[in-house]
Amino acid sequence: MKAFIALSTVIALAAKSSATCWSEKLGYPCCSSSDAEIIYTDKDGNWSIENYEWCGIPKAVTCWSETYGYPCCKTTNKVVYTDEDGKWGVEDKKWCGIIKKEDDDEFPGPEQVPLEGSGNPFKDAEFYINPYYTTEVDAAITKISNASLIAKAEKMKEFSNAIWLDSIKNMNELLESSLNGALAQQESGYKKVLTVFVVYNLPGRDCHALASNGELLANDADFDRYKSEYIDVIEGHLKTYKSQPVVLIVEPNSLTNLVTNLESTPACSDSEKYYREGNAYLIKKFGVLPHVALYLDIGHAYLLGWDDTREKAARLYHDVIRSGAPGNIRGFADNIGGFVPWDDPNLSNGPETEWNPCPDEKRYLKAMYSDFVSAGIHSVKFVTDTSHNGKKFDYSDRELWCKSTSAGVGARPMAIPITTIDYLDAFYWIKPFGNVSELPNQSSFDNVCKDGLEIYSSDTWSQKVFEEGIRNANPPL
């Protein structure tokens, strides 16, 4: 009895420990099984004896997946995906953990079933504020003297934009720190916190551009680096931070170049293998993770808007997505850093738009949705970049694509911006405004823009672009 009293005294004075082995912080190990014989019970839990020593009986885990922010399955035991934590199923288009029974065999591995994700990742989520962009804006504000413009610049810090993983170095510096920051923000509030990244480092990147070629060349050795030093590392971090939603915008200007420039540009022909296989590889890796949504870049209305070009694109994207099985995508991202308006009824299918039947992004996505569904693509949702399309531009003035100072900040990031368009997941700022490390989606105009491109080196912040952009914002800041 004295031993019991002494034990109770120690327990009462000690702090409570973790759910996995609650007795360790009380100075006692956990028993080897949750079925150990209960010899003593107090307010901290049940106790037994093993090897002549007191041990805390661990609580039986009733729903292991709740630790990661997902419920356990109630009506299914069909395994859709397996990782090191356990088996995952799907109920009501949402991921759930399958409880392992004592007589279950070892996990047989994932069933190879491509699935649409658990829903619109932007919906009901709080958007992570990019701290690196906030720092750039703070520095820009110190160079502004106009009070009204300073107020507009301050507003820019309230809106989320994507974090670009455009090199192995930047990925290593930005990815985990951003995921950790978003997790802290999530744990301090009541909503899931969504982080958006741009995966952008394919070998032979931007094969038709002069301004935005990457660090990896179009060869097998660099493709191995892309997989092992870049994609695999991203995968490891995403698996660690699985309680929070993540959106990945996938490899801008890769597949679109295969649609428009494969025959005319030798560099694109050299890169074709790596663009196809690289996109498929990352879909296999990321497209099976329950908390990650992938959106493949589809350029904009003035790149792929014509009927024959869209049909060609639909076939290519279908083949690449199928090559990425069992992974799948959520959908597609359009107008990344582009100036094309969302909706401009004054633009028509006429000579001023080179007879483009999709002269704005609204009509472009409507057509793309139909083409992709007809091509057999399973999940066709869109996120539109509105970061740069606030000011109307004259399409006939091709040099305007070079004039970043003519742009204006567009519609603010928001989920389900138009409730009548069920395939539109969000408006979002994918390209941070003021960053002119590359001119957006305009590889066909690179020769026109050559002089301008020489002004901007990689990762350059332009004060002039930023100030003019917030002046031209529509809606106004």
Q: Region 222-232: what's the mean pLDDT?
A: 98
**In what side-by-side order are the strands of the sheet with 45-50?**
40-42, 45-50, 53-56
Mark whether 82 and 178 lie in a shared domain: no
Tokens representing 119? 């829903």
pLDDT in tens, 426-435: 999 999 999 8
pLDDT in tens, 104-140: 443 333 332 232 346 999 999 999 999 999 999 999 9
Least confident of 161-175, 302-316, 388-402: 388-402
Residues 223 and 215: their CA atoms lie apart, in Å, by: 11
Q: Region 353-359: what's the mean pLDDT?
A: 87
Give the whole-number percent of the chain exceeding pLDDT 90.
58
Mark whether 387 and 459 lie in a shared domain: yes
Domain count, the chain: 3
DSSP-derived secondary structure for 342-380: S--TT--SSGGGTT-S--SHHHHHHHHHHHHHHTT-S--
Mark whether 318 and 358 lie in a shared domain: yes
Residue 343's pLDDT band (cuts 50, 70, 90): very high
pTM above 0.85, yes or no: no
Mark whether 183 and 34 lie in a shared domain: no
Mark whether 316 and 272 lie in a shared domain: yes
Q: Which helix (H) or strand (E) holds 281?
A: helix 266-286
Helical pair 463-471 and 131-141, crossing angle rounded to 10 deg: 90
Mean pLDDT of the chain: 83
Residue 198: φ, ψ to 5°: -110, 120
**Helix, strand, or coil (residue 93):** coil
Tell me, what CATH number does 15's domain have? 3.90.1220.10
Residues 52 and 461: their CA atoms lie apart, in Å, by: 67
Mark whether 270 and 286 lie in a shared domain: yes
Residue 9's pLDDT band (cuts 50, 70, 90): very low
Residues 225 and 365: their CA atoms lie apart, in Å, by: 34
pLDDT in tens, 154-174: 999 999 999 999 999 999 999
Mark whether 208 and 257 lie in a shared domain: yes
Q: Which residue has the tokens 């493709």?
A: 223
Q: Which residue has the tokens 């009548």?
A: 420
Residues 173 and 184: their CA atoms lie apart, in Å, by: 18
Mark whether 275 and 174 lie in a shared domain: yes
Amino acid in position 182: A
- Higher local confidence (pLDDT), 392 or 295: 295
Domain limits at 86? 63-113
Residues 355 and 358: their CA atoms lie apart, in Å, by: 9
Least confident of 74-78, 325-329, 403-407, 443-447: 443-447
Tell me, what CATH number does 150's domain have? 3.20.20.40
